[in-house]
Amino acid sequence: MAELNLILLGPPGAGKGTQANRLTEDFGLPHIATGDILRAAVAAQTALGQEAKRYMDVGELVPDSVISGVILERVAEDDARDGFVLDGFPRTVDQANSLGSEIEKLGRRLTAALLIDVPDDVVVKRISGRRMNPTTGRIYHVDFDPPKQADRDDEDGSELVQRDDDKEETVRKRLVVYHQQTEPLIGYYEQLGLLRRFDGTASPSEVHAHIRATISTLKLEEEL
């Protein structure tokens, strides 16, 4: 298998970023997060970055064609020659179609879509339990990593806050959008034979081990 071109799927709070970082370390693949790539293209003032900025400046959604173009520019860079981990794109079936066709034009193909599956109630508990030191950005969790003193930072004693994005009502709204727009990608990649499912309620280390084993199996199948 010459390349490992991977897509990470799953709801917010599934742990995609954690697994992307581990895959980057395991296989030397760049972690391509859509938001980061868009901001980098804007900062570099590439043609597509300037086009994206026009939409972002007025608060409009950046069109699929522009996002796909920015992603493909990044995929074509030297450090992504042996593959990539794509996180945050595609979000819709239309974006998936666009990505697939453009990747094929480069003479490449996707290896797998890795779904980290987590039930809504678990997502809500994970995200709504976060508490942050507004000065340092240090993160705690009321259940999984609580501070020694309730609502106070262990190091400087600052009062911890819950970000608006982490409030239960906001999280549930994000989940509605995920189910409406992104969840159809599960069936889409399943039909293409690319989907691999992982239990996101397991520990990050267990999820990582399962993903590594799956990728090893894919490599072996390719070689046979």
DSSP code of residue 119: -
C-alpha distances in Å from residue 189, one per residue of 6, 26, 63, 151, 222: 12, 24, 22, 43, 19
130 found inside a domain:
no
Pick the catalytic residue from 91, 125, 138, 172: 91
Q: How many Å apart are CA 58 and CA 196, to the nearest integer?
A: 38
Whether 15 and 122 have beta carbons less than 8 Å apart is answered as no
Q: Active-site residue 174, yes or no?
A: yes
Domain span including residue 16: 4-30+77-119+182-223
pTM here is: 0.86
Q: What is the CATH number of the domain that holds 102?
A: 3.40.50.300
Q: What is the pLDDT of residue 74?
A: 86
Q: How many domains does the chain have?
A: 1
Q: Residue 205, Cα to own-chain centre: how many angstroms?
A: 17
37 found inside a domain:
no
Pick the catalytic residue from 125, 152, 174, 212: 174
219 found inside a domain:
yes
172 found inside a domain:
no
From first to last of its 224 residues, what are the pLDDT tens digits of the chain? 568 999 999 999 999 999 999 999 999 999 998 878 888 888 888 888 888 888 878 777 788 788 888 888 888 888 888 899 999 889 899 889 988 888 888 888 999 999 999 999 999 999 999 999 999 999 999 999 999 999 999 999 999 999 998 999 999 999 998 999 999 999 999 999 999 999 999 999 999 999 999 998 888 877 65
Q: How many Å apart are CA 108 and CA 106, to the nearest integer?
A: 5
Q: Active-site residue 91, yes or no?
A: yes
Q: What is the pLDDT of residue 102?
A: 82
Residue among 143, 138, 129 nearest 157 (CA): 138
Q: What is the pLDDT of residue 37?
A: 81
Pick the catalytic residue from 54, 81, 109, 163: 163
Residue 106 tokens read as: 């480069």
Q: What is the pLDDT of residue 224?
A: 58
213 found inside a domain:
yes
59 found inside a domain:
no
191 found inside a domain:
yes
Pick the catalytic residue from 22, 74, 126, 130: 130
Whether 115 and 196 have beta carbons less than 8 Å apart is answered as yes
> Exposed, middle or buried by CB within 10 Å (0-12, 13-18, 19+), for 76?
exposed
Residue 24 tokens read as: 């980057």
152 found inside a domain:
no
Q: Active-site residue 126, yes or no?
A: no
Whether 195 and 183 have beta carbons less than 8 Å apart is answered as no
Asked whether the bond before 90 is cis by omega within 30 degrees of 0, the reply is: yes
